[in-house]
Every structure is written in C-alpha cells, then in structure tokens.
Amino acid sequence: MLSSLTIAQAHDKLKRKEISCEELTQSCIDRIEHVDEKIHAVVYRNFGSALNKAKKIDSEGEFPHPLTGIPFLVKDTFSEKGIPTTACSNILRNKDYIPPFESTVTNRLKDVGAISMGKTNTDEFTMGGSTETSCYGSTHNPWNLSRTPGGSSGGSAAGTTSDQCLFALGTDTGGSIRQPAGFCNCTGLRCTYGRNSRYGVMSMASSLDTIGPLCKTVEDATLVLSVIAGKDPYDPTTSDVPVPDSSKILTQNIKGMRIGIAKEYFTEGMQTDVKNAVADAIRTFEELGASTEDISLPHTQYSVAAYYIICPCEVSSNMARYDGIRYGHTILRHGSLIDYYERVRSEGFGPEVKRRIMIGTYALSAGYFDAYYRQAQKVRTLIQRDFLEAFTKVDVILSPVSPNIAFPIGAHDGDPVAMYLEDVFLCSQPMAGIPALSIPCGFSSENMPIGLQIMGPQWGEEVILKTGHAYQQATDWHRKKPSL
Amino acid sequence: MSLVPDDIRHIAKLARLHISDKEVKRYTKELSSILTYVDKLKEVDTRNVEPTTQVTGLRNVFREDEVRPSDTAPEACIETSPLPIMDRQIQTPSAHG
C-alpha cells in the first residue's frame, strides 16, 4: 500500500519514477474510503482537486523538493482558499465558512508541490483533548475504536497512523499535537512559539498557539518543518531565528548528549506500563551514548492550573469575533443586535467552548483580574525559569507524553477537570514557549501506544529532532501499525 | 471558589451568551469545579515575580507600509457573511433595538 510510505520513501520512488504521484494520491484516497468510516478522521474530502494536482505534477515529471507530490491532510482550523473550513464548530459549519484566503503554512507546502486532500477532525476550535467536542462527532483511535485518539489534533494523528495520508498538520496550544501523537503511535512536533506562522489558522489562545506536523517518522517531521518554518510578515510573532537545518538533525549521533529526567514527570498515579516503557527508552538513550541526570522542574504541578486561566482568558477574547455578522451561523428571527449576538453564539458554540469563554470572562472581570490572570502569568514566569535553569545542565528533557494510555470515548463526560488533567505533562512547555517532540516508545498490555516526550530549549528543534531520530534508528515502535 | 447560579447568569451576559436554566445549573457546577482546581495557584509565592505576557522577546514588530497585490477581493471577504449584502455593506440587526 503506497499510502503507508514515509515522505522520504515516497520521494525516492517518485524521483526514480517507480510510482506516479497520481498512484500515491489515489492510494491515500482509497485508504480513506476504505477505513475512515470506522475512524472518522477526515471531515472534508477534497479528492478531485488533489487528483488534478497529482496529474499535473506527473505531467511535469519533476520532483525537485522532498515534498513535491506528497499528499497530506490539514486540521480543520487551517484556512485554505475556497475550501470549507469550520474548526469543527456549528458556528462555522451551518453556513460552511469558505475562507477567501490561504494560511501561510498551507501556502508554503503547496508552493513546493505538496497536495492537500482534505480536512481532519478536531475538538471544536481545538478546545479539548479527545476530539469529542467536534460538531461532527468523535474520531476513533485506530488501535481500539472504543477509545479516543486524543486531541485536539485527533483526526490528524489517527489519519497519519492509519495511513490515510503521508503526513498531517495540527496545532498544539496545550498538548494538542503531542497527546494524540502519543495515543495513536505517530510522531508529533510542537514547535517553539514563533517558529511557524499562524497566519490564516484560527486562533484559540494567542500567547500559546503553535502549529506543527504529525508524521510517521522524525525524519519526515524534519522535512515538513523545513518548509513551513520561518519568518512571515503576516504573523508578527514569527522570528528570524534560522530555520533548523535538516542535514544537522539527520546525520549526527547523540554520544555525549546530556538528558534530564525530572521527577515531577513520574507521578504516583501513572500507569505502570507507561513508566516501564519510558524507563526502557531512557536505557536505549544510555546505550546510544547519552548520559542522564536527575533534575527538578518544581512548578510543573501548577502548569495545568495556570494554563486553564491563561488559555480561557485568551479564548474569551478570540471567540468574540464569532458574532454572526462576518461569517458563520445566523438566525432568522431576532430582536436587537445584542439579542442576535447572544442567540447566534449560544446556538453555534458547544459546551466546552462556552465553558472556556465563561471562565475567561469571569477571570478577566473587574475584581478578579489580579487573583487569577495576573497570578497565572506570574506562575508562568516561574515555570519558564524552571526550564531555563534546567537547560543550563542538560540538552534535552525526557518524560512520558501522558500518564496513561488513550482513555475510552465518554470517560470524562461531565468532568472537565479530569479531562484537563490528561494534559498534566503537556502544559508547561507552552507556558515557556519551548519545543517538544512526541514519539512512539512502546505498547501497554492492552496493545495501546505509549508516547515519549523530548523537550528542548527555546529554538531547540534541532536537538530534539536529532534525539528523536537517533531513537527511531535504534527502535521499531514507530513502524508498528494498527490492524484495520 | 464556588459560584452561584446568578454568577453564571451575569458571566453569560458579559460573554454575550444566552443560556437556559438547565445550562445555568450545569455550568454552576462545572465552572465551580474548575475554579476550585485553579485555586491551587494561590499557594505559589509570586512576590517580586514579573508576569509573563508573551515568550518571544520580540517587541514593536513593524513591516514596510507598502501597497501589495492581494489575491483576495474585498467582495470575497464580505461574501462570507450570512447576512444580506447591500451596496458592499452587511445589513445587520439594529443596534438601537
């Protein structure tokens, strides 16, 4: 099955003319049509246009870039000109929002000839850790259909793992790339805040939102990053720090690398299989010539609480634009303008979005600002300092992605705090703006994937990708596929 | 931190959300549980700690004020509105009731 190739393998075959771009794209389409009824990763299919582009590339016969002719899927929050994009929310779905412009990153991918095939499922406006809050219903984990794929980029993770595409794009605000990558057995990269342009990607929490790839290997993530990264005049938070150099990532070994292990990431309630798999991974790194050191990140325990103040505050502001005037849902009968706003928003937004808007509105309201928002921002400073200090002693920090394997669909219904705590190891890195990689490192006794997180310093994508690549050269976990 | 139903009604009004009595009951419970959880932030000694608002270290980012071609027509932006369009303007409900 051609759709199971990695980007690097497919590029090689395309270049040698062993396969055509049309065959490769058709293979992904066949796979989506064959398995996605069960998984529900893809919420919009753009197959006609994808096949036309594939044929055009074949007729030109040139594959100058590793991503030329490579089919991919995009989370439903990335604007593509002329393609319905709804953030899996009824507020944009009911009158299919069709963006009149293109996001910078999809533009950059299309410029080198990558082929967009459709949109993947996400929690509504990326708010959630399971894809259950999507207006289209949950995605199912390819390893066990009764479990969630994680979220919010659950569609992108499940789609990549089940070979419906060669790679997918996702967003990570508080774990939304790393957690589903860990739950589904693919490679997910949260980049340094400011590494990739967010122009044309729907905002959730602007001081934390990042975008990144979900791939089959670290090598592929490196190839995608080299295209999407870099300064964009349309996103003033992007930096002109040099884009990571893939040749440095993919050739060097990790002998002498200093790996930090923080006790705060090995908590009591953690599943034994997860603990053991991560311990095995640490031994693998030692065998590869790295040294390990115990470190402490003392404010880790406050990261989820700080996140669930800062994020909802920014949500309450970002969601104000959905007012039924410029785009999206509308109602026929209404009174005043205020009545119109209230009813459009109440019908259009789902419960998790409403919860976050209300928490943020409350925390920012008169009399509560200092107690909540200001205090959370100060704790954010302390979390950032923890990492700055740790990275004076070590090059990377290893931890599990999640304390447990993927939970059953519906397990956290009516208990938002339990859902938030699924991201207990994933909220600190966004606070500090640092990059982190999620890669497969084993399976539980139920045959569910376990993820390993590799954190690096700000702008340290090269070192975490190099570490992840070395691990994937020595192990086979990332090659394991679910039977569907 | 525990909220009462009137708090929820007030917050909903500030947030431009119309919520039913059933939702008021639900959100009173759920928002109280979230606020109780985040109260643990109060344990942290943050005296003399500056708040972090963003992590890039960038400030005052400018770009050249040049006229550039756009492949998006102004009409295309207005067309995404669900409301009637008149003379390149969106016809909204009255702001005066």
Q: Inter-chain contact B51–A335, Cβ cutoff 8 Å?
A: no
Query: For residues A142 and A149, is the Cβ–Cβ distance under 8 A?
Result: yes
Contact status of A446 with chain B (Cβ, < 8 Å) = no
Identify whether A445 is a catalytic site residue: no
- Confidence class for position A348, pLDDT limits 50, 70, 90: very high
Question: Are residues A381 and B49, on separate chains, in Cβ contact within 8 Å?
Answer: yes
Residue from A171, A169, A172 nearest A119 by CA: A169
Q: What is the mean pLDDT of residues A366-371?
A: 89
Would residue B10 count as lying in a domain? yes
How far apart are alpha carbons A13 and A107 in whole angstroms?
Answer: 25
Q: Is residue B90 part of a domain?
A: no
Note the pLDDT tens digit of each residue in B35-46.
999 999 999 999
- In a domain? residue A322: no
B87/chain A closest Cα distance in angstroms? 15
Q: Name which of A92, A131, A27, A135 is nearest A328 in CA terms.
A: A92
- A100–B42 CB contact, under 8 Å: no
**Do the domain assignments include residue A354?**
no
Does A380 reside within a domain? no
Q: CA A243: distance to chain centroid? A: 19
Residue A245 placed within a domain: yes
Q: How many CB pairs under 8 A join A and B?
A: 179
Confidence of residue B97 (pLDDT cuts 50, 70, 90): low
How does pLDDT run across A77-123, given as a tens digit for each residue? 999 999 999 999 999 997 779 999 999 999 999 999 999 999 999 99
Give the pLDDT of residue A96: 79
Distances (CA, A) of A34 to A28, A39, A132, A164: 10, 10, 22, 9
| B65 domain-assigned | no
Q: How close is the nearest chain B Cα to the Cα of A393, in Å?
A: 21
- The total of structural domains in chain B comes to 1
Report the percent of chain B where pLDDT is more than 90: 69
User: Across the interface, do A377 and B19 touch by the CB < 8 Å criterion?
Assistant: no
Q: Tell me, what amino acid is at B46?
A: T
Give the total number of structural domains in chain A.
1
For residues B34 and A260, what is the distance between their CA atoms, to the nearest angstrom?
Answer: 32
| Closest alpha carbon to A154 in A178, A132, A184, A180 | A180
Q: Does any domain span residue B25? A: yes
Min distance B20 CA to chain A CA atoms (Å)? 10
Q: Does A377 reach chain B within 8 Å, measured CB to CB?
A: yes
In a domain, A420, yes or no: yes
pLDDT at A278 over 80: yes
Q: Which residues of A touch B97 (CB under 8 A)?
A: 335-336
Residues of B in contact with A346 (CB under 8 A): 17-19
Cβ burial of A56 (10 Å; 0-12, 13-18, 19+) is middle
Query: Rounded distance, CA A429 to CA A176, Å?
Result: 12
**What's the pLDDT tens digit per position in A386-408?**
999 999 999 999 999 999 999 99
User: CB-based contact (8 Å) between A416 and chain B?
Assistant: yes
Partners of A119 in beta bridges: A44, A74
Give backbone dihedrals phi and psi of A233, rounded to 5 degrees, phi first: -60, -20
CA distance A134 to A159: 16
CATH number of the domain enclosing A437: 3.90.1300.10
User: Is pLDDT of A409 > 90?
Assistant: yes
In a domain, B61, yes or no: no
Q: Is the residue at A80 inside a domain?
A: yes
Q: pLDDT tens digit string along A212-267?
A: 999 999 999 999 999 999 999 999 999 999 998 888 888 778 999 999 999 999 98
Answer whether residue A419 shows pLDDT above 80: yes
Residues of B in contact with A303 (CB under 8 A): none
* pTM, 2 dp: 0.97
pLDDT at A434 over 80: yes
* Domain with B17 in it: 5-42
Length of chain A: 484
Nearest to B19 among A236, A308, A346 (CB): A346
Could you tell me where the DSSP H helices lie in A162-241? 178-184, 218-228
- Asked whether residue B49 carries a pLDDT value surpassing 80, the answer given is yes
For residue A417, is it within any domain? yes
In-domain check, residue A65: yes
Cross-chain Cβ contact A458/B55 below 8 Å: yes
Cβ pair B18:A329 closer than 8 A: no
CA torsion A454-A458-A462-A464 (nearest 10°) is 0
User: Peptide bond preceding A444: is omega within 30 degrees of 0, i.e. cis?
Assistant: no
What is the pLDDT confidence band of residue B62, given thresholds at 50, 70 and 90? confident
Q: Residue B49: which of A236, A330, A378 has the nearest Cβ? A: A378
Average pLDDT, chain A: 96
**pLDDT of amino acid A250:** 87
With respect to residue B20, please indicate whether it lies within any of the assigned structural domains. Answer: yes
B38, part of any domain: yes
Residue A152 known to be catalytic: yes
Based on its alpha-carbon atoms, the radius of gyration of chain A, rounded to whole angstroms, reads 21
Pick from A168, A455, A156, A326: which is nearest to B74 by CA? A326
Q: For residue A45, name the pLDDT band (cuts at 50, 70, 90).
A: very high
Out of A152, A162, A316, A428, the active site residue is A152
- Tell me, yes or no, whether B60 lies in a domain: no
Q: Give me the domain span that covers residue A10.
A: 2-260+390-479
The CATH number of whichever domain residue B9 belongs to comes to: 1.10.20
Contact A435, A455 (CB under 8 A): yes
With 80 as the cut, is the pLDDT of residue B1 above it? no
Interchain contact, B17 vs A382, CB within 8 Å? no
pLDDT score recorded for residue A292: 97
Give yes or no for residue A320 having a pLDDT over 80.
Answer: yes
Whether A216 is catalytic is: no
